[in-house]
Amino acid sequence: MRSLRAELVVVVFAGAACAEARDTPREDAQAQTAEPRAESQAVKTPATAVLVPANHTDIPVPPSCGPGMKLVPGGTLSTLERGKDVTIAPFCLDEVEVDVRSWRACERAGGCPKLSSRTDWDNPDEDRIVSRFCNGGRSDVDDQPANCVSQEEASRYCASGRKRLPTGDEWEWAARGGKDGRATPWGSPVATDQICWGKPKKRTGTCARRSHALDVTPLGVHDLGGNVSEWVSPPSRSRNAAARWVYGASWYAVDDGYARAALGGVQTPARRAETIGFRCAADAP
């Protein structure tokens, strides 16, 4: 179905890296450098009042995030790809990826363009083949991720709700369970049927959100392991503040290395891809 080309796939796992030359479809985990577009500025969430029970005025109540978001406590992240320590401030993160229903509601409100039914891999032949996996051209996938969305469009969607894209470091911190330092969101370093990906059976597109009950972090954030790779703002290790970065494996991934190592994140040449979606974050109140 797809053209294959020899690539150097870098698998990053538990701070170690190994390289394997192999034929692989251009997958969500290809590390390539492309001339990126500028990313929208993050929009901060306004402070939310902290409520204290009337009968316990001396007991502070932890701040809460908006509906559909989880509060991720801060800490020190030892990144998988280099073991470099990065300080993470508390932040809020969407429990699930943005779905088609939510995107179309944004369309009707005038805050989003029409969900695209075309990919943009800068290769017309490739786009012709894989665009059929874009959810924008379907009417039966309301609860599945909005894919074939550009990084800029994802940023604008988040900004319309006074949110932003998570940084790569925030994404990894949340996916690894914060201070737990897991190798994967579900804990085990081995992926079988815990996530929406191409094993044990080949898939023909995205999955409904929350359809893989094991793909959840201890804080209750779903689908960070599979379904779609997700747009993020560049992680601290990035040398280009405008580079297009994605984290997480997708429904198309079939190699164990993608599921184990995708937490490390990659740059992608795609402007829109059938394997890429997103979720939003916000500064903690």
Cα separation, 268 vs 37, in Å, equals 12
Lowest average pLDDT, out of 6-20, 65-79, 96-110, 123-137, goes to: 6-20
Per-residue pLDDT of 235-263, as tens digits, reads: 998 988 889 999 999 999 988 777 766 67
CA 133 to chain centre: 18
Tally of structural domains, the chain: 1
In a domain, 143, yes or no: yes
Per-residue pLDDT of 181-219, as tens digits, reads: 888 888 887 778 889 999 888 999 999 999 998 899 999
In a domain, 110, yes or no: yes
Q: Output the average pLDDT for the chain.
A: 80
In a domain, 74, yes or no: yes
Q: Are 215 and 194 in contact (CB under 8 A)?
A: yes
In a domain, 44, yes or no: no
Q: CA gyration radius for the chain?
A: 18
What residue has token string 């698998």?
A: 11
What does the pLDDT read at residue 216? 92
pTM of the model: 0.78
User: Is the pLDDT assigned to residue 39 strictly greater than 50?
Assistant: no
In a domain, 95, yes or no: yes
In a domain, 159, yes or no: yes
CATH number where 76 lies: 3.90.1580.10
Q: Which residue segment(s) compose the domain that 129 sits in?
A: 27-35+63-283
Cα separation, 230 vs 224, in Å, equals 8
In a domain, 259, yes or no: yes
Q: CA–CA distance from 62 to each of 58, 65, 76, 183, 184 (Å)? A: 13, 10, 20, 28, 27
Per-residue pLDDT of 152-191, as tens digits, reads: 999 999 999 999 999 999 999 999 998 888 888 888 877 7
Cα separation, 81 vs 104, in Å, equals 36
In a domain, 52, yes or no: no
